[in-house]
Amino acid sequence: MLFWIIAAALVAVIALLFALALLRGHAQDDMAPAAAYDVQVYRDQLKDLERDIERGVVSAEEGARAKLEISRRMLEADRKAQAGSDLARAPKGATMALIAAGIVLFGGAVGLYLRMGAEGYQDKPIAQRMAEANKLYDTRPSQAEAEKTAKERQLETPKVDPQYAALLERLRAAVAKNPDDPKGLELLARNEAVIGNFDAAWKAQQRLIAVKGDAATAADYAQQGELMIVAAGGLISPEAEKVLATALKKDPKNGLSLYYVGLMMAQNGRGDRAFRIWDGLLRNSEQSDPWVPLIEQNINELAWLAGENDYTPPMPRGAGPSQADIAAASDMSPEARQQMIRGMVDKLNDRLAQQGGTAEEWARLISSLRMIGELDRADAVYAEAKGKFAARPADLARIEAAHAAPAGKALEDAGAAPGAGAGPEAGLPGPSAQQMQDAASMTPEQRQQMIQGMVDGLFDRLTTEGGTPAEWARLITSLATLGETERAKEAWGEAQQALADNPDALAQVQLAAQQAGVAQ
């Protein structure tokens, strides 16, 4: 009812404005036009001029010239008045036609709304939306129903090369003869998918998993789930969901399964949950992973559904230094290593300036700039990042922790090898100049052994004597880079106890632990 009251009030106001405009136009029609008024003014000027000539105020010669000019203007004004008199009043027929058109348009709009509109449609509370999403999830078609619908919608059957079809028939016969041959089942699943026979493909993959038993990997289950989804026309059925769940049980970080679970959430009205899953997956994916471009195309819309109005998609890990880059840094001279680090820092700086990035990336840039001694640039980036993340307290805390950390907090933030200094000027509590010089003459194995010894020594000292937040952070990231995740977790636990009474210091170490993947 409120809708109709508001709509009627708006129509009444608009109609009143139109009526006033028409009445004002008729009122102006009855007034003398501006040109006619000008004619009268010029006549008065001529009379005044005659009196001035008689009194001798104006000479006869000047008066003649003025009369000529005033007469010329009066004639022009009279011409305009005569020409405008025929157009001054709008035809009554046109006015009536305008009113009739307005009535027809208004009546047509009301009729169209009553026929096609959603009269009485109410707002949906969150609880109701969730209930509808759950109903949509619970009433999904089964795998068989979805595949049947997909086949009905298929426009044409893919054509298969006769030679390829003959080879596939031989493969099918071989697998039928020896149904427990893993290699044959693997080939059959792959080739059935090639010709678009996805139903047979996922069933062959299912048989392969049964043959493998406990040896079946998360990737095996994820592949079966994907084949089932494609066979169902893109819909994720309850059966496919169970297969994906098994894959994630074996490997919670399986990217293909996480992508399809997020897609399933989006299909069933839970874009908010899809966003959380895809955002986390994007942060832990390589640039070359096949699901990355698909997520990047859709995640901004999901972010809006999840209430993230100021969301910037994170860059995949392939956009930064790889483990190979880090390993290669240990074989470089200090000068070459410093140059490599500076190049990576500049590259990160350019990308964030042009495309933006996550709070973690801004924090890494700030700490990297401080590490290589460019404190002014670090301060400028810090000021820019504060503006970008002012409305996000958690992200802002990471930015501030990176800026508050001692210069050169963590070499690994810029992709250098643990224990490998950026040079004496960086001010790191790490290897001395003499150690750096000695390392340059070592073999890679000797240098790795030296690095391991330095990390072990730092671990022993910090766990027995304690140390600064920067040292704890460097120890955790170094252990993680060396692949010693359990020791990194142990170091994080020790740091929490050692710095329990210093929240600011603990926040610095927590940032390093999060980047190393050993803390939430």
Q: Is residue 413 scored above 60 in pLDDT?
A: no
CB contact at 8 A, 408 and 375 = no
Residue 480: name the closest of 455, 454, 505 by CA: 455
Residue 274 pLDDT greater than 80, yes or no: yes
What are the tokens at 56?
């001798």
Beta-carbon-side half-sphere exposure of residue 102 (alpha carbons within 13 Å): 14
User: Residue 138 is encoded by which pair of tokens?
Assistant: 């619970």
Q: Which residue has the higher pLDDT, 443 or 99?
A: 99
Distances in whole angstroms, Cα of residue 74 to Cα of each of 45, 46, 49, 63, 378 = 10, 10, 14, 16, 77
- Give CA separation, 286 vs 281, 322, 345, in Å: 10, 10, 19
Listed ranges 135-139, 175-179, 474-478; the one with the highest mean pLDDT = 175-179
Say what the pTM is.
Answer: 0.47
| CA gap 195, 318 in Å, rounded | 33
- Percent of the chain topping pLDDT 70: 74
Per-domain residue ranges for the chain? Answer: 162-318, 323-516
Position 463 scores a pLDDT of: 82
Written as one letter, the residue type at 393 is P
Count of C-beta atoms within a 10 Å radius of residue 263: 21
Largest Cα–Cα distance of the chain, in whole Å?
134
Yes or no: say if 436 and 421 are a contact pair by the CB < 8 Å rule. yes
Task: Name which of 194, 188, 200, 204 is nearest 147 in CA terms.
Answer: 200
Query: How far apart (Å, rounded) are the C-alpha atoms in residues 268 and 271?
Result: 8
Instruction: List the structure tokens of 476.
Output: 């955790």
Q: What do you get for the CA distance between the two ends of the chain, in Å?
A: 51
Is the pLDDT reported for residue 188 higher than 50? yes
Q: What would the DSSP string read from start to end of 383-444? A: HHHHHHTTT-HHHHHHHHHHHHSPTT--GGGGTPPTT--S-GGG--SS--HHHHHHHHTS-H
Mean pLDDT of the chain: 77
Query: Of the candidates 198, 197, 172, which has an alpha carbon nearest to the alpha carbon of residue 185?
Result: 172
Q: What is the CATH number of domain 162-318?
A: 1.25.40.10
pLDDT band at 271 (very low <50, low <70, confident <90, very high): confident
> Considering the chain, what percentage of its residues have pLDDT values greater than 90?
19
- Range with the poorest average pLDDT among 194-208, 358-372, 484-498: 358-372
Of residues 126 and 471, more confidence is placed in 471
Out of 48-62, 239-253, 306-320, give the one with best mean pLDDT: 239-253
